[in-house]
Structure 1
Amino acid sequence: MIRVAIVGASGYTGVELYRLLANHPHVEITCVTSRQNAGELFADVFPSLRGRTELVCDPVEVEIVAAKADFVFTALPHKTAMEFVPGLLAAGKKVVDLSADYRLRDAALYEAWYQPHTSPELLAEAVYGLPELYREKVRPARLVANPGCYPTSVALALAPLLKAGLIDPASLIIDSKSGASGAGRAAKVDSLFCEVNEGFKAYGVGNHRHTPEIEQTLSDLAGVPVMVNFTPHLLPVNRGILSTCYANLKEKSDTARLVELFADFYRDEPFVRVQPKGSLPNVACVRGGNQCDLGVVVDPRTQRVIVVSAIDNLVKGAAGQAVQNMNLMLGFDETAGLNVIPLYP
């Protein structure tokens, strides 16, 4: 059994990692850390875990984590992660980092959207952990940057079209909606029940920090620099992301042909489900699972293609994808611990 640590376990992503790893056949969770809950029983922090764990939250210290675990998930905020990860690597640990700190290859680009980077020497080594697109690079890595939730939904939606050269990258418009858990567990006025319930609003318009990450992956796929209009919205639900992506087709096509293209592109992918013609994804059908559901439609009047993508932002958008990456890095079956049927209703 591989000993695993969850650093920053008191957030939504941390407890979701625990939920998935608790049923993993090849790992044992030996360490959970939390700054604000250090010394407390993890099951007291999250009563849903009572009867499943006796772990006590450790302080967020490299020495403690390195002594207790072989493999580490860092579910820390950006900036905090970059100060913690180098020590884990120096101690010989493999790491999946769920912050934004190692997702962007260009340190100047990262600093333009976030803050100064304290370990930029690791950016060239970190592998972007979207298995469907970078699987063979993930396998030998010791540091994997787990993708953001919005970028995951967008990249999987557009990869078949960009790889085939069927759309004009300059025409891309991305409209995304996320459940409130995407804002994290910390108390914020904008995430309060009365602020979210029965509401629906855009935010981060023109300046959301996931924009350069989205553009980096889409540029890889297209083979040319890609710039997008990306607008996120806040949904009055706990979980889920629905991204609707619009693009101009370079040549005339139809829905049936593109559904077939998507089905062939993702034929061997265990967590991508391409919907049949006439069916579109619903966030209610991926809740709690590691699936990404995709639907594609061609508007025959405008010859634009519309791709709809649905994921659970805490699973395929965070913890589930992190476990998927761990499985690849450790040589396990990629689906280990992740064969969970989504909750419905």
Structure 2
Amino acid sequence: MYQQKFLDICRMYSKFTVFFCLIALPLLIQPYHLDCPSFAQWKLRGFGFCNNSSDYTCLLNTNENKYNEHCGLGLHFLVAGYKFVISGSLDRQQCRSKRFQPFTLPSNISSSCVLLKSECNEDGQIIFSEGTTTYDRSCRCNYIKNYAFVTKPKSSCYCLPSQEDCSCYKKKCPIDHYLSPDYQCVHFSKLTGIFQCPEIHKKKIQQCVDTTEELLTMKSTQDMNSSMNILVIHVVAMILVIVLCVGFFVLGKYFQHDQELFKQNLLEEIEILKLKRACAQLMIKFEDKYVQRKSSLLYVKVEVQDASIQCMVAFEMTRDESVQCESELLQDSLIQ
């Protein structure tokens, strides 16, 4: 009975869980956004999509602002500093500010300019030049904060991170000496002199900071929708998990209570059976004693009957002897 009740509750709870999942499912479904494969996976995707990696292209559709996969657009080449896009037909577009393309790019290699520009964000580094669509950024050390190059670069004023070590360290100068734009300790009276390297202007530093903030803002804006979608998914999944856990906890408590009642009833039935068994044993013992007593009375009665019969037999024998004696006396008297 209790097992059947438990199964009914489980079925009811499973129906509730399915209903809740059907309600939450539309919130969990997100639109599919195609991202082109990375350079390492480009050939693998090409074999899977076109059966031939040389015919596969994945390019940005500028009219729809999304990526499209194609087979059979043909093999085309672009000069350095450009990438392929789809604008009604196959077209080209300059590399974005964060990337550069120093060599000729085939259409079946990548959807964007291959190389990322250096960030110049290591300890003591600042941007010297933003570079171009074909060249990387150049970095320098911030001498205003007493940073100088660990290894002197090819150009004494800046270095190219993609070609050489641009590490900086804090250089100590004597008292009343300051680090010049040429990364030399000079007396404060000579800081207004002519230097080989250009000075760092606060305006330029602020411009670099603004550029960095702009890039971060653009990235944040682009990722806002996906972040909100991920947040909604996490919240809904958390609510679903909590509901399921609470449901199973309540169900477990209910089943535990029913199980305790079942055990209690089972123990009571066992006690009743023990009492019945004890009573039956007492009845058997009583019947055995009654039978024994009845049999003993019957044995006494039989013995009494046997004794009376023996007495009667003895009396008859005595009587026969007396008759015989009388007859003998009578015969003796007649003879005389």
TM-score range, shorter chain: under 0.3
The structure with the largest alpha-carbon Rg is 2
TM-score (structure 2 length as normaliser) = 0.20
TM-score (structure 1 length as normaliser) = 0.20
Q: Per residue, is there more helix in 1 or in 2? A: 2
